[in-house]
Amino acid sequence: MKTWRSSPRSYFCTVRLQAGWSSERLFRLLVDQMNTVENAKGTNGPTPGLVPAYEDFKRVAFLLRRLELENLVSGAMYMNQPVLGFEPAARDRAEYVELTRILGLDPDKLIFPVVVAARGGSADNINLRFRSFAGVMYFLSQSVQVPEEDIAAGRVTVTEDATGQTFDWQQVTQGLLTIKSSSKRPEFEIKLCRTQARQVHDQRVRWNSCMAEIFLSCAAEDRERMRPLVASLEAEGRNLWWDRQIKPGEARDREIDEAIHHAS
């Protein structure tokens, strides 16, 4: 039986629903260090010349994901403190034993407070250190497959492993992002990007309409009478929403409810 007060939805579930990515991918992308385990720490800036430590962290993210899929771990709040709680059955799983060993956690504990600190960690809690936005961008830049001619010309830094061989950054970024290069324009991808850009634009327009400071709704027969008022308010620079902006086929009641909710 759980001994902590669970939140309505676990952090993992919330993250997956809002971002569309698994907890494993988000940990690998956003977290720079967990306890003393570093996640390709040297990638928070320009490309390093030597391979940074990443394998243990990648393994930790994988193990957490495995336990999550079997409902053996979840996030919760206890006295306004985020915690990571494991089910008692997790003690018998090799994944839990390995996870606690790598992170230096006490395997006899099942509930670990999650803290954000500058460094370190202890056997009693899980300390996360997050990447900055710039750090995330630098990290993702390692997923670019650089053309051979640019490497030969010395335009980029080449990362080498302990044997002096060129390191394949896909070992770090695999499953997160891959950016390929080509001398030809990828027509299909361009069309797809334009379609997605239009969808994003339409969503932004819709969102901005929901952030209006004035909400106006009226019966269909009164719309013509309302036009002068609408024109006057818009001329004053007021951000106005009225139900004439609802497109055919949209759920009228839902659109109006959203507009009322977001109107200031």
User: What CATH number is associated with residue 236?
Assistant: 3.40.50.10140
pLDDT tens-digit map of 157-192 = 888 888 888 888 888 988 888 888 777 766 655 555
Provide the pLDDT for residue 11: 42
One domain, residues 20 and 107 = yes
Look up the pTM and report it. Answer: 0.63
Q: Is residue 152 part of a domain?
A: no
Provide the pLDDT for residue 193: 60
Greater confidence (94 vs 199) lies with 94
Minimal CA–CA distance to 175: which of 8, 29, 17, 18? Answer: 29
Q: 175, 143 in Cβ contact below 8 A?
A: no
Provide the pLDDT for residue 148: 86
Q: Is residue 98 part of a domain?
A: yes
Question: 254 falls in which pLDDT band (50, 70, 90)?
Answer: low
Question: 198 falls in which pLDDT band (50, 70, 90)?
Answer: low
One domain, residues 116 and 30 = yes
Question: 56 falls in which pLDDT band (50, 70, 90)?
Answer: very high
One domain, residues 29 and 101 = yes
Q: Is residue 181 part of a domain?
A: no
Provide the pLDDT for residue 77: 77
Q: Give how many domains the chain has, as a whole number.
A: 2
One domain, residues 193 and 254 = yes
pLDDT tens-digit map of 9-55 = 344 444 444 456 788 888 999 999 999 999 998 887 888 888 899 99
Domain that holds residue 225: 187-262
Terminal Cα distance for the chain, rounded: 45
- 246, pLDDT greater than 60: no
What whole-number percentage of the chain has pLDDT above 90? Answer: 22
Question: 211 falls in which pLDDT band (50, 70, 90)?
Answer: low
Q: Is residue 61 part of a domain?
A: yes
Of 3-7, 26-30, 108-112, the least confident: 3-7
Greater confidence (227 vs 204) lies with 227
Q: 57, 172 in Cβ contact below 8 A?
A: no
One domain, residues 15 and 130 = yes
Q: Is residue 224 part of a domain?
A: yes
- 136, pLDDT greater than 80: yes
Of 57-61, 65-69, 193-197, the least confident: 193-197
Distance from C-alpha of 99 to C-alpha of 37, rounded to nearest angstrom:
11
One domain, residues 133 and 196 = no
Provide the pLDDT for residue 122: 82
- φ, ψ of residue 222 to 5 degrees: the values are -100, 0
* Beta-carbon contacts of residue 59 (< 8 Å; ≥ 6 apart): 98, 102
Provide the pLDDT for residue 117: 72
Provide the pLDDT for residue 74: 84
**Of the residues 141, 172, 197, which one is the last residue of a structural domain?**
141
Provide the pLDDT for residue 10: 41
One domain, residues 125 and 194 = no
Greater confidence (255 vs 217) lies with 217
**Of the residues 141, 176, 209, which one is the last residue of a structural domain?**
141
One domain, residues 40 and 110 = yes
**Of the residues 109, 141, 173, which one is the last residue of a structural domain?**
141
Distance from C-alpha of 71 to C-alpha of 81, rounded to nearest angstrom:
21
User: How much is the mean pLDDT over the chain?
Assistant: 77
